[in-house]
Structure 1
Amino acid sequence: MLNLVLFGPPGAGKGTQSQKLIEKYQLVHLSTGDILRNEITQGTELGLEAKKLMDQGVLVPDAVVIGMISNKLDSNKEAKGFIFDGFPRTVAQAEALDQLLETKHTAISGMIALIVDNEELKKRLLLRGKESGRPDDANPEIIGKRIEEYNNKTAPVANFYKAQNKFQSVNGIGSVDEIFASIATVTNSFN
């Protein structure tokens, strides 16, 4: 089973590249944001718990998110693998994910980090903000904070996977197809 963590700062191209990975390797996309919204919509026990917390403005605890991921894994037992999007964001989440996957007799195959310099990220996000109307992509100050938050919080997660020899970085600048070719080469090395 091929289980990938695709990482990169806002604007690095994760959404574009994850779609290409899903198509090429027939992976199931696991976006924690999508899973949360789906559990809430379906009114599951975990979804109701998450909604109650979100309504109070409180972050959903890792244990609840891990429970939702577990449900998603269980409902896709025939999957060739999964691509984790937006998770794990902390070392504690990475450790919890490893423990969960171990109970399912699988593991993270590798983490691929898209490397893009801050100036390019800002240009991409401002352009995306104009095209999509997303307010968080239209404000240079907010963009700077999002990039800083990513750099501060995710470096330890990258180190977590480096310690397991599961971390690979890919240059996230170039054409979509050039970047994907690099990602595919790395992905094939995990198989």
Structure 2
Amino acid sequence: MRIVLIGPPGAGKGTQAKRLTELLGVPHLSTGDMLRDAMRKGTEAGQQAAPFMKTGRLVPDDLVHQLVLERVAQADCANGYLLDGFPRTAAQAIMLDKMLAERKTPLDLAVLIQVPKDVLLERLAGRGRQDDDELVIVKRLEQYDELTHPMAAYYQGRGTLREIDGLGSPEEVFARIETELNGARH
């Protein structure tokens, strides 16, 4: 299965992605991890992304698109993958769909994990990552809100969006996701 996992920073996407990839036997493709890795390694893409990530701004579409294209072309993605962090905008979602249509490998599902903003702020404040200081967190959540609604509407229109309540234990959230996956398979 080819799945896009959508949710604000702090929604638990990383936790759920790990469970989903184990269940489905597909790789977890986190653009955030890809970008942080590129920054650590000092690659050209990492150097271009650094000023955006350090100030909480979104990395330009063409740069992220290039990273994703290279990654989904690798052999371990032949039977599917879980994309996390891309697409972030309706334009990126359309670009991704075009790319996948050219390869005759359409997206199966877009899973949106919903969590109230106050809970997100609390979760992120306790995470302690370098890119999680309070001002950066607030900026990232604002950008997420602005961009996600049109993207969710796009996937809703295509019939691939599944909205999941992200409150509760990781096990409860995963059970909700699994229910939606099972429904999509039939």
Length-normalised TM-score, structure 2: 0.83
Structure 2 match to 1:9? 8
Letter in 1 for 2:169: S
Q: Is the 1:53–1:59 Cα contact (8 Å) retained in structure 2?
A: no
Q: Is the 1:32–1:65 Cα contact (8 Å) retained in structure 2?
A: yes
1:88 pairs with 2:87: yes
Letter in 2 for 1:168: R
Deviation digits for residues 54-90 of structure 1, max 9, x if unmatched?
A: 4776975433433332222221266421111110011
Q: Distance in 2 between matches of 1:60 and 1:146?
A: 12
Q: Indicate the RMSD between aligned Cα atoms, in angstroms.
A: 2.6
Q: Distance in 2 between matches of 1:54 and 1:78?
A: 24
Q: Distance in 1 between matches of 2:153 and 2:6?
A: 13
Gaps of 5+ in 1: none
Q: Quickly say closer, same or farther: Cα 1:42–1:21, change in 2 above 3 A.
A: same
Letter in 2 for 1:163: G
Q: Distance in 1 between matches of 2:60 and 2:167?
A: 34
For residue 126 of structure 2, give the secondary structure of its aligned residue in structure 1: helix
Letter in 2 for 1:177: E
In the comparison of the two structures, how many residue pairs are matched?
A: 181
Length-normalised TM-score, structure 1: 0.81
Q: Distance in 2 between matches of 1:56 and 1:41?
A: 13
For residue 137 of structure 1, give the secondary structure of its aligned residue in structure 2: coil
Q: Distance in 2 between matches of 1:145 and 1:13?
A: 18
Letter in 2 for 1:53: Q
Q: Is the 1:25–1:80 Cα contact (8 Å) retained in structure 2?
A: no
Structure 2 match to 1:137? 132
1:126: Cα distance to partner?
Answer: 1.9
Q: 89-98 or 58-67, which moves further after superposition?
A: 58-67
Gaps of 5+ in 2: none
Q: Distance in 1 between matches of 2:125 and 2:41?
A: 35
Q: Which has the larger radius of gyration?
A: 1
1:181 pairs with 2:175: yes
Deviation digits for residues 16-40 of structure 1, max 9, x if unmatched?
A: 0000001000111112233346667
Structure 2 match to 1:106? 105
Identity %: 39
Letter in 1 for 2:144: Y
Q: Distance in 1 between matches of 2:9 and 2:46?
A: 25
Q: Quickly say closer, same or farther: Cα 1:73–1:138, change in 2 above 3 A.
A: closer
Letter in 2 for 1:3: R
Q: Distance in 2 between matches of 1:143 and 1:67?
A: 26
Q: Distance in 1 between matches of 2:96 and 2:9?
A: 22
Letter in 2 for 1:4: I
